Amino acid sequence: MSVARSMLKVNVPGVAVLAPVTSSEAEILSPKALQFIATIQRIFNPTRKTLLQKRVLRQQALDRGVLPDFLPETAFIRNDNNWRAAAPAPGLQDRRVEITGPVDRKMVINALNSGAYTFMADFEDSSAPTWENIISGQVNMRDAIRETITFTNPNGKKYELRKDGKLATLLVRPRGWHMLEKHVLVDGEPCSASIFDFALYFFHNAKELIKRGKGPYFYLPKMESHLEARLWNDIFNVAQDMLNVPRGTIRGTVLIETILAAYEMDEIIYELRDHSSGLNCGRWDYIFSFIKKLREHPQFVLPDRSDVSMTVPFMDAYVRLLIQTCHKRGVHAMGGMAAQIPIKNDVAANDAAMLKVRNDKLREVTAGHDGTWVAHPDLVKIALDIFNEHMPQPNQIHVRRDDVKVTATDLIDINFKGSITEKGIRDNIQIGLAYMESWLRGVGCVPIHNLMEDAATAEISRSQLWQWARHNARTAEGKTITGQYLLQILDEETDKIHQNLGAKYTSTKFEAAKNAFATNVTGEKYDDFLTTLLYDDIVSAVAKPRL
């Protein structure tokens, strides 16, 4: 059933909303909320743009051969053993299992009910940022916090929150610094998506969360330096001051999902120290970033994704350093995503997938992680059982890991066995195509090959293909990989999809996905992010701004 939408009359100077809204979404986009967003945008967007330019300059240095290293100018922060970050906030002392997912209404209810200790509601990589997804997601956050959220399926099945007081603590992940919200203009310029997502959520929910004994808690994605963490901290302080919320009420857990951030973990916690709730191993984006940042160097060519496990040298070093750094500073060291989903009608395959989950969670808890991520409610109990057995207390921040010694070269050590295969190439193309097609339809969280995939996986897929073509890598079968060869396989895989779907193919987005994918796999053009490459295809701005 479609919901009536109409253009919003905006009476806030300099602000324009270019897409229609429902009546409940209009409540979210109130004049005071839009003024709050605009104020933060005006203060901080220039800094955001400067930091994005610093990323460009850093990439140029990497391309010239200036490899990542710990910063000499911040050694005083790393070497000072006395400072600590904030104590865990209410509802965040025990985070042993966190479930993540997009912000659609049914998912929010199921995740809050799942038995996980926390739920990361994701406006970022598992949500395609259509206007409807983003703004309805904000409505869903408001209703979830007030425990009024319900949902009825077309078949009549009703979903509502459990009444036993065991709802997961809510965290929100806004979009990264590189993203724009093109449906909202401030002084004629698209709003930063990070600022939009954060400010709208904080404005409507901060005081309600405090009243309910929790607080406004966030996951912060895609950062590449401590200066980007400083920007978040400055925004947190200004936002709290504007609403007369005590400074230090907000908490932010930073995803260490870029290779450059791994060299600045102490500094990132330090910048956010009054608002820090730790770091998380964002493993898939981390692999993507490793390829992306070092893509011009043949000595860093990675094998098939299936060979890049959490135990290979560069990934193991990253995990150990993250746990040591977090615990030294008194904050949570969160583990990564178990992307497996239950496999119906195949007991053996399902048992094998669940064993992978158990082994992964056992590795994490014995390494010293304080919690972990799952993508599906059925995995909550599996992860809980492992953490409950090996971590009966709320966290293990007291496990210092003083034994860990990680050097700059350890973090880029790819001395492990692996190969590039035609199957690996085809898997990357299948995953990239399927994910991008889904994203263009407005769905950002997609089951592919029995894994729940988000944008990070598609990023790995296209980045590996680009890297292999760029350096003419050879497959285990003896084939030299070229851009032309990859485009040929892309055609073959798209043809298979076309044949399987028949007449239905024309109503999909596969052709658009293929055309976009083809621009980024030949070893030549390389876009920073697929999400920015594709974003204009899902923008639905229909009105000319009247400022």
Q: Where are the alpha helices (DSSP H) in 212-282?
A: 226-242, 265-271
The whole-angstrom separation of Cα 40 and Cα 510 is 38
- Look at residue 542 and tell me whether its pLDDT is greater than 90: no
At 3, is the pLDDT very low, low, confident or very high (cuts 50, 70, 90)?
confident
Q: Nearest to residue 232, comparing CAs of 262, 263, 192, 205?
A: 192
541 falls in which pLDDT band (50, 70, 90)?
Answer: confident
Q: The whole model's pTM is what?
A: 0.97
Q: Which of 119, 116, 181, 125 is nearest to 145 (CA)?
A: 119
Looking at residue 200, the DSSP 8-state letter turns out to be: H
User: pLDDT at position 2, please?
Assistant: 62
Residues comprising the chain, all counted:
547
Give the pLDDT score at 498.
Answer: 98
Does the structure show a pLDDT above 90 at 331?
A: yes
pLDDT digits (tens, 9 = 90+) for 82-134: 999 999 999 999 999 999 999 999 999 999 999 999 999 999 999 999 999 99
| Residue-level pLDDT at 544 | 55
Report the pLDDT averaged over residues 168-196. 98
Task: Report percent pLDDT > 90 for the chain.
Answer: 95
Q: Is residue 173 among the annotated active site residues?
A: yes
Tell me: the pLDDT tens digits for 459-483? 999 999 999 999 999 999 999 999 9
And the tokens for 485? 């060869």
Q: If pLDDT is split at 50, 70 and 90, which confidence band does 543 have?
A: low
Q: Which residue is catalytic, options 96, 105, 142, 173? A: 173
Amino acid at 438: S
Q: How far apart (Å, rounded) are the C-alpha atoms in residues 52 and 34? A: 24
- pLDDT digit string (tens) for 336-390? 998 899 999 899 999 999 999 999 999 999 999 999 999 999 999 999 999 999 9
- Region 199-224: mean pLDDT is 98
- Whether the per-residue pLDDT at 547 is higher than 80: the answer is no
Beta-bridge mates of residue 158: 152
Question: SS3 letters for 246-257?
Answer: CCCCCEEEEEEC
- Do residues 21 and 29 make contact, with C-beta atoms less than 8 angstroms apart? yes
Q: Out of 95, 370, 454, 462, which one is annotated catalytic?
A: 454
Are 38 and 14 a contacting pair, CB within 8 Å? yes
What is the CA 225 to chain-centroid distance, rounded? 16
Neighbours of 473 (CB within 10 A): 19
User: Quick one: CA torsion of 176, 179, 183, 186, rounded to 10 degrees?
Assistant: 90
- pLDDT grade, residue 546 (50/70/90)? very low
Q: Are 100 and 383 in contact (CB under 8 A)?
A: no
Give tens-digit pLDDT for 483-523: 999 999 999 999 999 999 999 999 999 999 999 999 999 99
For residue range 379-429, list pLDDT tens digits in order.
999 999 999 999 999 999 999 999 999 999 999 999 999 999 999 999 999
| Cα–Cα distances in angstroms (integers) from residue 44 to residues 31, 52, 98, 188, 230, in the given order | 20, 13, 31, 16, 11
In angstroms, the CA 346 to CA 353 distance is 11
Token pair of 502, please?
A: 């028949």
Neighbouring C-alpha atoms within 13 Å toward the C-beta of 122: 22
Closest CA to 445 of 140, 104, 97, 138: 104
Q: What is the dihedral of CA 91, 95, 99, 104, to 10 degrees?
A: 20
Is 351 an active-site residue?
no
Distance CA 23, CA 420 (A): 53
